Structure 1
Amino acid sequence: MGKRLVLWDVDQTLLDIGRLGAEIFSASFAACTGLSEHAATRGPGRTDWLAFDETCLANGVDPSEEAFRRFTAAQEAGAEEKYASITGLGRVLPGVPEIMRSCAEHPDVVSSLLTGNTRRTAELKLAALGLDGLVDTALGGYGDDRRDRPELVGVARERVHRATGTSFTPDTTVLVGDTLNDVRAAQLGGARMVAAATGSASAADLRAAGAEAVFDDLSDTGAVLAELLS
């Protein structure tokens, strides 16, 4: 163990739950703030914390950490309530089970998550679509750990070091994601970036942003694994 730390984004990289995520966010924001009618904000690849703060500011609400913690509790409850809908309406993206299983079984790979979701929400999504058990979620970086996504890289590395005694570096850490914010997290957090053009960013945009490797999707297990281990 210990040659490569692979950190996976969740939404639009591993799975797609359509509008359910936005619906859960909106309902949770309303429950937390009392604003049943509110302006939404957009920004693929944001942490939940940053998305909450930006939505607060867009609606004249002063964001606070206490309010954010109430929001995350509501959001996680909403994800649990919508579990059946995630199972029924969500889908796993091409090649994902195969490449995740390859990493899970590889003796030189530590595999976890780096996502804007909270850990509980991410775990619910993975479980709903049969991807649970393929990563060690205790070792990841999540959207309620820090506001700024690049900081999650260090959070994950520290958790891995505490749990395993292995210290990973920018040269031995790889992020897998689909957004320009994922690329930014790799660049500023210190990691290599393997991108999948399965979200809103095109392959050309991801390359221009600085991703070292870009795939249309993760279906070519051998090629993706080779990039993760290179």
Structure 2
Amino acid sequence: MHIPDGVLDPVALTVTGVAAVGAVGAAGWSLRRGSPRVASALVGAGAVLAAHLVDVPVYGAHTAHLVGGALLAIALGPWLGLVVMAAVLALEALVLADGGVLALGANVVVMGVVGVLVGWAVYRGVLRLVAGTGSVGSISDAWRVGAAALAAGASVLASSVVLVGVLAMGGAAVAVSGAALEVLIPHHLLWALLEGALTGAVVAVGLAWRRSRARALARAAVARQVHVLDGDLDTLG
């Protein structure tokens, strides 16, 4: 899904570049009062980078791969997720030559702004719809897994639509017409289904681990209280 250099005209590069800088800047500004989650951000960046390395040629210079925008949004929140995705795309362009340097803004818009924010909007929208007038926090893990899968698939489809639009806007109408569309759209639909399934599986594992950890902490707290009641003051140290 990376756009290489030499595909977009200067107007498209400028528009997408300004949009990407504005979006990432706004995301960074929204994080100024939050506590830094460096470890989580690094883990997320590593996971997305690994997913992007599995690049499958689709048509001409275009490739398809897992995006990870929805998963970043679910795990880190939309703003930190967007900043992490932009950092990963910059690393890929500058160090790995995956995606054009001049087209970095376009790639951030397609996979970062659209991929992350659409994934987050769909995920939270599904949870609110399921919760109705109740609390989102009371929703079962099964619904959360389904919402994550749907959000991931929707984010890939949205990124694909914006990708085609950016290519057309940038003077690459020939590259996204006729036979190209017949290849690009079905391939990205398959990647959307795959990303939805994998994202749902990852969220399911994460929720199961959280439940297991909560039970372990609860058992440890009970054991600690019993020891104190028995006069084992060493547990207070």
Query: Same fold by TM (over 0.5)?
Result: no
The structure where strand makes up a greater share of residues is 1
So what's the TM-score if we normalise by structure 2?
A: 0.33
Task: Give the TM-score, by structure 1 length.
Answer: 0.34
